[in-house]
Chain A
Amino acid sequence: MPEAQRPSFGGRPVGDPHAHYFREKARLSDPRGTTRRIASYLGRRKPALVLVFLCALAATIVAILGTRLNGYTLDRFIKTGDQAGLLVICLVLLCMYALGALATYAQNRVMVRVAQRSSADLRRDLFASMQRLPLSYFDRHSSGDLMSRLTNNVDNINLMLAQGVVQLFAGAVTIVGMLVAMLLLSPLLTLIGVALVPLMVLGPRYLARKTQPSFAAQQRELGNLNGFIEEAISGQKTLALYGQERKAAEDFAAINARYVKSSGRAQGLSGIMGPINNSVNNLTYMVISVCGALFVIKGTGMTVGVVFSFLLYMRGFTRPINDILTLWSSVQSALAGAERVFEVMDTRPEADAPEARELDWTAGDIAIDDVVFAYEPGKPVLRGMSIHAEPGMTVAIVGPTGAGKTTIMNLLPRFYDFESGSISIDGEDIRGLTAGSLRARISIVLQDPFLFSASVRENIRYGRLSASDAEIEDAARKARAHEFIMQLPEGYETVLSDNGGNLSQGQRQLLSIARAIVADSSILVLDEATSSVDTRTEVLIQAALLELMKGKTCFVIAHRLSTIRKADRIVVIDSGTVVESGTHDSLMAAGGFYAGLYNSQFASGMPL
């Protein structure tokens, strides 16, 4: 449970450290709209659905006929002792049942394909829409929660589609068929039987309505749980180093307990459905039996065989109703899950301006003009930033942490949109360009390199998908990565795991540099990329990058003065604005902020 409020350093109360997991409120549902949307996925496969329908129809007809024939057999052949007739009817029944079995088999096989493929479509659409979401969305939502939606929720939908829809379908057909048969047999008994149906439906419906919020709560808690597990397992090493395993386990126990509680409530309530159905069924049979017996005694022309058949019909009628009603709980789960999935899909994607132009070539003239930007409204990070870089120029951006350097790098490729000011390439505002083409012209090497679980070769190829193997190896050599790649178990074909976990930080940086080299674009952005690489290697990379940077515009955020020294222009930033600008020599001569920074490098003799 959330910790009680404690006074903290700074005098402000400390809230629940896990509060952000519980931020979401219980959702209001729009079950009809959601159901229609899911149904539309199935609707893409109409011919198959028609086949399923026909098979279900066939199977139902067999079931109905078989049931009727049972009663008929009793009256016509057994009572009268007609052995020859009995033989014929038995053979007929056998053939019918065989056909029915075949129809059921075919129906199931086709339906499962429809359902699984529809689920696959949903998963694919979800993934695609995720790709188009703006970065700000990912900042606001924990990846564990998003993963929960992508996996658990989609799985629920899948389950419902794969198993639920078949039953719904077949069940619906059966119900109609049985009803018709019952009417033909005895309208009177049908009336009595049907009158009891509302009882069968009302109870569960009431129950379903009561359990809907529990299911939504359960899903929410599951998202929280997943988020926590995700974080704790990826941060395992750090937790171990601080001996925090026990505390993490305690926190986990709290979140787990919340999930168990909400889940228990949801499952428990929905479990009562079955017994309700069962007892209502029993009552129904009892009433029919008694009434039927009464009618037979009163001699209204009803025979024992008719009652018997009718009872069997009733069983056939109520069973699918029961099935559908018991399905309700998985339908609930699926709907709750579907809502969470559609929520992601309905989020406004990153969009290009309506008249956006494709950028195909650029000289690389970048002008950042008086840009104001805040990640969160009211907390500006850039307060009127202006930098100009001519084509082929190397601009080094220096400043204390949090001054806004990484932010500039985020704005250039339009990862975020800024409030005021403008950023132009070759004089054209980047907001008038398509994001995709803009990003293709900019190579980025991030502070925290991210690698995919693919081979080394593929990872480098991601810089430019059209690169040839020779170009990839050439880029690797330039990035001084070739040597260590060749020492890996399978060289270039070695598959990396979990964000390149089997490589060191420096090696990961080298790969991400190779990737940027392959990208071969006119604008290069390096965000402290080279600082995790030892300087012996860095010198070599510097040389290679210098080669590469010829004719390209390059923004470098680095702390290494050796890097900065060689830049064409140094821009010193503090608190979101430019403080100083010039070459190394001019700034040293000016004796300002930059000069102070440079001199502190020689602060001597203090062991750490």
Chain B
Amino acid sequence: MIRLVLRYLKGPARAFAIAAPFMMLIEVFMDLQQPTFMARIIDVGVANRDLRYVLSTGLVMILMAVAGFVGGALCSLFAARAAVSAGGEIREGLFRKIQSLSCADVDGFRTSSLVTRCTNDVMQVQGMVMMLLRGMVRTPLLLVGSVVMAFLLSPSLSTVFLLALPFVLGCMALVMWKSASLFSGAQASLDRVNTIMRENLLGIRVVKAFSLEGLQEGRFGSSNQELTEANIRAQDVTFLLMPAVMLAMNACIVAVLWFGGGMVKAGSLEIGKIMAFINYLVQITNSTIMAANLVINLSRAIASSTRINEVLDRAPSLPAPASRAAPASLPALASQAAPTAQSAVPPAFDIEFRNVTFAYAGAREAALCDISFRLGEGGSLGIIGATGSGKTSLASLLPRLYDASSGQVLVGGMDVRDWDLPALRRTVAFVTQESLLFSGTVESNLRYGREDAGPADFESALADAQALGFVNALPEGVGAPVEQRGHNFSGGQKQRLSIARALLHDARILVLDDSTSAVDLGTEARLRAALAVRERGRTVVVIAQRVSALMGCDRILVLDFGRMSALGTHGELLRSSAIYRSIVASQLGEEAVAHA
């Protein structure tokens, strides 16, 4: 955990973090003088009946208290600044890291766990940093300081707690070891509870539709129970520590009374010193308890920091290639660092799959098996097939959302793995099946496609995507608010906005994954017409369920259980592929087959 914090303690925060303990030194030093001065009041002032001495000592103690306050307050302020800053930096670093993870990695971690790590776990670590900065100096210093002062007062009495110390340390170690695993168990239970809550939130419509409220409450109830028990178990262990420490310390006090009494009788010790000694013992006890608390909370924070490090240390499975190459003719890259030189002839933006096989992590069967085809630049390819036949998987390989298990995917004649990833994603615009909009405005969403787009660009893209009508009908136009996930728009509207966004991206290769499923046929036809004009000369891949969307493509690929079943034009397929014929028949009627 220390490594994590040190890495993210930057700039002024670092100075604050260093300054805080020093401020604490002042406060602790002042605190340590207290018992000694009090002893002096008794031994010197009272013994000699010296009023003035008593009063002047009192004055000194006031000054020390004030100085201690200044030190302590500054320490707190500095510690807060440092801790909060470190927390913010860790959160940001974690967020950036999550952004850079590949789809496979994100699947592995699960969304809700990532969200918990970004929020809850970071807060644990932050809280710990603050506690450490404040207590890390105070507690050991008070502890050591008190021990030293006590030793100075009377070495022989000090041997008493030298015996107790190993016992106390042993207890602390045991508790820390046991509670660490219990606390991470509790965090895992918290994850599960949060998953159910999140699911319930997102799926509330389904819950209401099927009257699942009772069931959900039941599911929640059992994991809630589990969490409670896990928390109790973890805290139970920590409860052994406090009483044990207190008992040890109190026994020490009794021993001091016994031995000290003997020494006073023998005349080798003054009574005032016993008082001071016991005072120091109380200080030591208090500090030990504080240290114990710190230790317990530390285990909690360590569990959290482990979870954070797990994400930060994950080697990205889609690393930027060493060569960082991209075809030299790519216009948007003009300002980038010089890539390795390509041939003088600009490559075409064609797509080629060579014996590509792909399986999702942990799947029993491959989603794609031995796919090979080539689509020249400016050509259009339609992909059709049954559910689960691998259409989306195939398209996901193009922008490298996933990597093929074997075989090669080539764009512009170069393996996608050799492409500079940002450049690849600028070249391939991918409209996903599930159109996802972000909260903000219509304009902010469109800008994801192109940041420097102007009003004319928006108008053109929206018009072609058949979205201009409803956007103009909104009172704020492009400035209309978009709720989380685009909830305030209908399915068809979301899809059209997604398409407009992709059009703004102005990529050389456009992939549409079933992106007009919620759009009515009339609108879809107009969309197709508009895209035909706009995308002329660009490579287009269309995945659809409706043959009507694919009929005009140069070629159509029929997938069946991850394998290529047929490839050809609409007419060729009607003649050669039984599967294709049956699809056309079911959708467009027998007459469409006959009139091939």
Contacts and interface: CB of A to CB of B under 8 A. Distances in A.
A162 B106 contact: no
Interface stretch (A34-42, A269-277, A385-393): A269-277
A275 B265 contact: no
A155 interface: yes
B572 interface: no
Given A9-B478, A81-B264, A489-B363, 18 more contacts: A14-B441, A94-B254, A113-B232, A116-B231, A127-B220, A131-B213, A235-B436, A249-B92, A267-B84, A275-B68, A279-B68, A315-B282, A401-B520, A439-B209, A446-B209, A487-B365, A497-B107, A608-B549
Given A489-B364, A531-B545, A560-B587, A596 B552 contact: no
B550 to A, nearest CB: 8
Contacts of B576: none
A83 B266 CA distance: 11
A275 B72 contact: yes
Given A238-B436, A259-B88, A608-B535, A14 B443 contact: yes
B201 A278 contact: no
Nearest to B82: A264
Nearest to B527: A608
A43 interface: no
A294 B443 CA distance: 79
Nearest to B450: A242
A290 B52 CA distance: 11
A300 interface: no
Contacts of B114: 233
The 9 closest A-B pairs by CB, nearest first: A275-B72, A506-B387, A401-B492, A10-B477, A271-B76, A17-B440, A9-B455, A279-B69, A268-B80
B521 A138 contact: no
Contacts of B329: none
Interface string B232-254: 10011001101110110011011
B483 A139 contact: yes
Contacts of B227: 120
A169 interface: no
A70 B258 CA distance: 11
A90 B99 CA distance: 65
Contacts of A11: 477
A528 B439 contact: no
Given A86-B257, A90-B257, A290 B106 contact: no
Most central of B220, B479, B532 by chain A CB within 10 Å: B479
A131 B207 contact: yes
9 contacts: A14-B444, A127-B200, A130-B201, A147-B197, A233-B115, A237-B103, A271-B80, A278-B69, A293-B41
Interface in B467-506: 470, 472, 476-479, 481, 483-485, 487-488, 490-493, 496, 501, 505
B451 A247 contact: yes
A233 B103 CA distance: 11
B99 A79 contact: no
A561 interface: yes
Given A237-B432, A401-B519, A275 B115 contact: no
A462 interface: yes
A402 B495 CA distance: 12
A411 B438 CA distance: 26
A142 B99 contact: no
A304 B85 contact: no
Contacts of B587: 535, 560, 562
Given A233-B115, A452-B199, A539-B586, A241 B251 contact: no
Interface string A213-254: 000000000100111011111111111111111011100110
Most central of A227, A272, A539 by chain B CB within 10 Å: A272
A307 to B, nearest CB: 8
A415 B205 contact: yes
B478 to A, nearest CB: 4
Contacts of B363: 489
A253 B213 CA distance: 38
Interface string B201-232: 11111111111110111011100110110011
B194 A289 contact: no
A152 interface: yes
A31 interface: no
A264 B80 contact: yes
Contact of A264 (B45, B81, B455): B81
Contact of B425 (A78, A240, A439): A240
A311 interface: yes
Contacts of B205: 135, 415, 446, 450
Interface in B81-118: 81, 83-85, 87-88, 91-92, 95-96, 98-101, 103, 106-107, 110-112, 114-116, 118
Interface string B295-327: 000000000000000000000000000000000
Contacts of A98: 247
A286 B37 CA distance: 9
B551 A293 contact: no
B235 A528 contact: no
B144 interface: no
A105 interface: yes
B271 interface: yes
Contact of A240 (B119, B401, B472): B401
A152 B120 contact: yes
B204 to A, nearest CB: 5
B228 A162 contact: no
B224 A120 contact: yes
Contacts of A131: 200, 207, 213, 216-217
B46 interface: yes
A532 interface: yes
A162 B234 CA distance: 12
A200 B325 CA distance: 68
B197 A150 contact: yes
Contacts of B199: 452-453, 499
B563 interface: no
Interface stretch (B53-61, B159-167, B168-176): B53-61
A501 interface: yes
A311 B521 contact: no
B275 interface: yes
B228 A117 contact: yes
Interface stretch (A363-371, A470-478, A598-606): A598-606
Contacts of B258: 86-87, 90
B349 interface: no
A271 B69 CA distance: 12
